[in-house]
Amino acid sequence: MANWITNYGLCYFVYFLEVGLVLFMFYRGWWKRQQGVSLYLVALLGSDVLVRPYILHHYGVQSRQYAYAYYLSDFFLVLAAFMLVSSFFRRACAREPKMWQYLRLLLPAVFVLVVGYSAFSLAGHYDNLFTWFLVEFEQNLYFTCLVLNTILYLLMRQLESADEELDLLVCGVGIQFAGPAAGWALAYLTSVGYQAPPFIIPLCTAAMLLTWFYAMSQPSRSASEAAARGRFALLAQVTASKV
């Protein structure tokens, strides 16, 4: 009973954070500025609040419709996650156009390799090709996003990026990817299947959303510098007038 209350309470807390962050971004007018984050939040909100609850209510948790809806929503979520990490790479390379030109070719190539590897793993699972491919593809692309996000963080340290907001957004994504990936790896190594413990994914999602809330609530570095320059100019004018 306690586990049931904890899991459901955590899930509803995540739903509250998702809706709150969407409304916060609308209020701040950041949908165009944060296109990758916006796309991922829409996919997350649509999956958690709209698609899965609707199918669950109409067909039940044991239905084939709910199983397909669950796997398909995860499929679109991991696609949105890959696009999110790609958008972070583009933002991190804003002052390195040559590096971004290289990454524009590398990132699609990595995606194609993940699709090919997932399709290759279908051998021996001809009884349920569709579901098996979705599960394999989701897990492989999740691990790939985790590796790419780690590389991105190290790249930003190498470039000495001053984008503090992007630092926090990348850290939030790292939390989101690391939890499920660690759960799947542990489940695979202990031979108990491919399902992570039920509380890991909502817990990591909540941590990511809270990190994003903090990142977006902070004034941008450029705005802070502009305010500091304004205060310095005003102080200089006051000093000059006294002299």
Neighbours of 73 (CB within 10 A): 19
Give the mean pLDDT of 209-223: 78
Q: Is the pLDDT of residue 89 over 50?
A: yes
Neighbours of 26 (CB within 10 A): 11
pLDDT level of residue 40 (50, 70, 90 thresholds)? very high
Q: How many residues does the chain have?
A: 243
105 alpha carbon, distance to own chain's centre? 22
- What integer pLDDT is reported at residue 87 of this predicted model? 94
Q: Distance between CA atoms of 174 and 153, rounded to whole angstroms?
A: 9
3-class DSSP assignment, residue 124: coil
- What integer pLDDT is reported at residue 196 of this predicted model? 57
3-class DSSP assignment, residue 191: coil
Least confident of 14-18, 36-40, 178-182, 229-233: 229-233
Q: Is the pLDDT of residue 103 over 60?
A: yes
Q: Distance between CA atoms of 139 and 188, rounded to whole angstroms?
A: 12
Neighbours of 215 (CB within 10 A): 19
- For the chain, give the longest Cα–Cα distance: 87
CA 126 → CA 120, 122, 131, distances in Å? Answer: 12, 7, 10
Highest mean pLDDT pick, 60-69, 105-114, 133-142: 105-114
